[in-house]
Structure 1
Amino acid sequence: MKILCIHQNFPGQYKHLAPALAARGHEVVALTLKVKKPTRWQGVTILPYDIRGRSAKDIHPWLQDFETKLIRATSCCNAAIALRKRGFVPDVILAHHGWGESLFLKDVWPQARMGLYCELYHQSLPVFTAFDPEFQRPQTQSDPLRLRLKNLNNRLHEEIMDAGISPTAFQAGTFPDHWQDRITVAHDGVDTDLVVPGPNATLTVTDGRVLTREDEVITFINRNLEPYRGYHIFMRALPDLLRRRPDAQVVLIGGDEVSYGAKAPDGTTWKQIFIDEIADRMPPEDWARVHFLGRVPYDRFLSMMQVSRVHVYLTYPFVLSWSLLEAMSAECAIVASGTAPVREVLTEGETGVMVDFFDTDGIVGKTCALLDDADARARMGRAARAFVRDGYDLHTRCLPRHIDWVEDLATRTPRPPRD
């Protein structure tokens, strides 16, 4: 079988799946912006494509997002036409369609089966658009209209989707009902043989201090430090948390950019905004116990999880972070926001404890309670790892499900592109 993978940041969600399909004898090719020249990676042929065109200066702001996706779609389509001229005809196209690249590929290969990675459908319900009043958009009456256009890429892809796959039931549930019978819920998986407890782990932090399991380490992770993942709430809890835990060391991982939601005001970052907000409540000796590591290699991320005594995870009702399941696999004791994506994987009092997203006092109180209860930390950590190994293990659960899904997809009658 010939398989084409489309991901602007390949391998992305196909990190394990693409090589596994190649190892099963399938011919796997990827089109991506990630490389500048053709290359081979774990049995996969990776081909570049270039962006051609640029955004218009005065386009309506609601259309800017789709125009960017359209430019990518036409650019990827041109690369696909060139690939077809060289004789490549895929049986299956696997695409993370969130950036638009795959929009016209059924026009190039009408008989290919299209399998989409269904990450999120934008919702206009108040639980999504007004979850955090502090950052609520002022034009709430126009949100349904704006989001309808933001979903234009999703809607056009639905017409050509033969099957979809979504990592969590919460994420799959954001898509309209008429998608649901074509979406399979299957997480990408956690390598629980790699993400393990580390009793002898060490982590060197910004001041050169080496932290171990003997230290009282509190951890917090965002891809980028921003409100969607509760950075502002955690920072507001930090002064009281450090005051109550004079021996604690707090370690934060995350960049200064924006992954989700609005950008910080010009010339600032969300990271600095909330550092400045709590500055007058934080004496220098407490700041010395706070360590911002930025973005780190995966092995350092694992070390952080392994030395963590309590891990705090906060999120809006949004895409679930892989890092929560990885923290569970490492047997972390977890304090998490009780939002819908978290409740899907965490059970109160069994695999972690939950708190209202906005409740800084609750975050402090539940973190301190766990720090004072070694037996509860050990019990919940073991249960969390067992839960992940049973339902989310990469090699025994998730990857086999994804492979079966792809090979079943190849047997389906393809949906043709529509006028």
Structure 2
Amino acid sequence: MNYLFIHQSFPGQYQHLVIHLAAQPGNRVVFLSHESQNRIDKVERIEYLPYRTPHPSTHHYIREVEQAVIFGQSVYEQALRLKRDGFRPDIIVGHNGWGETLYLKDVWPDVPLLAYFEFFYRFLGADIGFDPDTPVTLNDAPRVRTKNTVNLLGLEAADWGQTPTRWQWSLYPEDARRRISVIHEGIDTAAVRPDPQAWVRLNHLNLSLSAKDEVITYVARNLEPYRGFHVFMRALPEILRRRPKAHVLLVGGDEVSYGPPAPEGHTFRQIMLNQVGRDLDLSRVHFLGRVPYDSFVNILQVSSVHVYLTYPFVLSWSFLEAMSAGCLIVGSATQPVEEVLKDRENGLLVDFFDQKGIADRIDEVLDHPDRMQDLRLRARETVVRNYDLRTVTLPRHLALIEDLIAGRTPQP
């Protein structure tokens, strides 16, 4: 079989899938992406280069649409080269969000296209207007409506879609939901599992931490408002006052993945340290930046309590990985967190903005660690039962692909 994958950031959501497919005898896996240092054995990565960026004079409602058309055109041209070289995929699988899948059916009209639909933007009921720190502007409603142009074009182009959570699926128009399957990328629960012997070394302090210590963890790709970084930082002075022996490990970069950027020349970490830094014992607050995956897993394994906050938006892999590692999670009572985390069943929920409530929940965990052990066990059981890579999500993903190649209509 010939497989064609497309994602600007190789391998994106497709890492586990392409590793599996490339390992099967007789398969050829080709992957179109931007420049990347990542490599996967037996996966042919081909770079596509957008020929320009959106023009500064483009109306700001459609600047992202123009960017998507540029990406889509660049992928289209690279696909034409592959076709001229004799390559014909049995299926095309790609992320729709940046426009990369828009024109592939114009190259191979009879090849099924499975597109990843991550988020249908809504002016009401999701991320926009959720946080008073980022007030709604006059232009937000028409801008968000226009932003879905790429979603709608992609839905028309694709034969079928995939999205990772039921809540994200629910945001799409009803007629689109009939052609979108809910399949998460999956968690390798064999690799991310509890380890009572794990430890983390902070070399700059000559300090080692283990599960015997009070360790509060917070993880995000970037330290930014969409993942509740500002709320957590505002809660920290009270948390540290109550927990004089606790250390706080924060993992994440200083860029912006989602939402408006910080003011020019600043990062959200700097902004929050300017706000609350004088009230923090910074010898116990450790900004670790982005860390290697093995180190990330170790951090989860030594966590006494893990804080996960998010706007109503896409669900972080790290949230499910924390549950798989047996973390006791204090999570925001927002979707899609509530789709997975049930209060006092497999974790603890708290209002996203309730700084005192976050401190109270952390106290509850750290004051009664034995009482909370069942929640840790059930957190891992939840992920193993519903999101395990090898037994749940990969088989479902492969079955969906097989249906599309065979011309069968999948189940949404």
- Classify the TM-score, shorter chain: over 0.9
Residue 212 of structure 1 aligns with which residue?
A: 210
Superposition map of 1:19-30 within 5 A? 19-24=19-24, 25-30=26-31
2:172 corresponds to: 175
Letter in 1 for 2:253: G
Q: 1:223, 1:175 → 2: CA distance?
A: 25
Note the 1:231-310 alignment, pairs <5 A: 231-282=229-280, 286-310=281-305
Q: Which moved more, 1:18-27 or 1:395-404?
A: 18-27
How do residues 8-407 of structure 1 correspond to structure 2 at under 5 angstroms? Answer: 8-24=8-24, 25-35=26-36, 41-139=40-138, 142-205=139-202, 206-282=204-280, 286-407=281-402
AA of the residue aligned to 1:168: T
2:101–2:115 Cα contact (<8 Å) kept: no
CA contact (8 A) 1:93 1:114 kept: yes
Q: Is the 8 A contact 1:165 1:183 kept in 2?
A: yes
Cα contact 2:247–2:284 (8 A) shared by 1? yes
TM-score (normalised: structure 2):
0.96
Aligned-partner Cα distance in 1 for 2:391–2:125: 39
More off after superposition, 404-413 vs 357-366: 404-413
**CA deviation map 1:92-135 (0-9, x unaligned):** 11001111112111111111111011111111115431111111
Say which SS state the counterpart of residue 144 (structure 1) adopts: helix
Q: Distance in 2 between matches of 1:54 and 1:369?
A: 50
Q: State the Cα RMSD in Å.
A: 1.6
Runs (5+) with no aligned partner, structure 1:
415-419
Structure 1 range deviating more: 247-256 or 12-21: 12-21
Distance 1:53 1:127 in 2: 32
Describe the shift of the 1:69–1:208 C-alpha distance in structure 2 as closer, same or farther (beyond 3 A).
Answer: farther
Contact 2:304 2:366 in 1 (8 A): yes
8 Å CA contact 1:162, 1:412 repeated in 2: no
The 2-side partners of 1:149 and 1:292 are apart by 38
Inter-partner Cα distance in structure 2 for 1:26 and 1:149: 39
Matched-pair contact (CA < 8 Å) for 2:9–2:36: no
Give the counterpart letter for 1:8 in structure 2: Q
Whether the aligned pair in 1 keeps the contact of 2:126 and 2:313 (CA below 8 Å) is no
Deviation at 1:377, TM superposition (A): 2.5
Identity %: 47
For 2:300 and 2:197, locate their aligned partners in 1 and report how far apart those are by CA, in whole Å.
Answer: 12
CA distance in 2: counterparts of 1:149 and 1:305, whole angstroms: 39
The amino acid of 1:236's aligned partner reads: R
SS in 2 for 1:5: strand
Counterpart of 1:102 in 2: which secondary structure?
coil
Distance 1:165 1:61 in 2: 29
What stretches of structure 1 move > 6 A for 4+ residues in a row?
none
CA contact 1:218–1:250 (8 Å) conserved in 2:
yes
SS at match of 2:197: coil
Contact residue 113 and residue 413 of structure 1 kept, 8 A:
no
Structure 1 position 40, deviation (Å)? 7.3
SS in 1 for 2:127: helix
Decide whether aligned partners of structure 1 residues 53 and 413 sit closer, same or farther in structure 2, where only a CA change above 3 A counts: farther
Contact 2:126–2:311 (CA under 8 A) maintained in structure 1: no
SS in 2 for 1:47: strand
Q: Distance in 2 between matches of 1:376 and 1:164?
A: 42
Distance in structure 2 (CA, Å) of the matches to 1:315 and 1:188: 19
Distance apart, 1:170 and its partner CA: 0.9
Shift of 1:34: 2.9
CA distance in 1, matches of 2:103, 2:318: 33
Q: Point out which structure has higher relative CO (alpha carbons under 8 A, 6+ apart).
A: 1
- Deviation of 1:413 after TM superposition, in Å, equals 7.7
| Number of equivalenced pairs | 407
User: Which deviates more from structure 2 when the two are superposed, residues 151-160 or residues 203-212?
Assistant: 203-212
In 2, Cα distance between equivalents of 1:71 and 1:295: 30
Q: State the alpha-carbon separation in 2 of the partners of residues 54 and 296 from structure 1.
A: 31
Label 1:361 to 1:35 Cα distance change in 2 as closer, same or farther (>3 A).
closer
2-side partners of 1:370 and 1:40: how far apart? 41
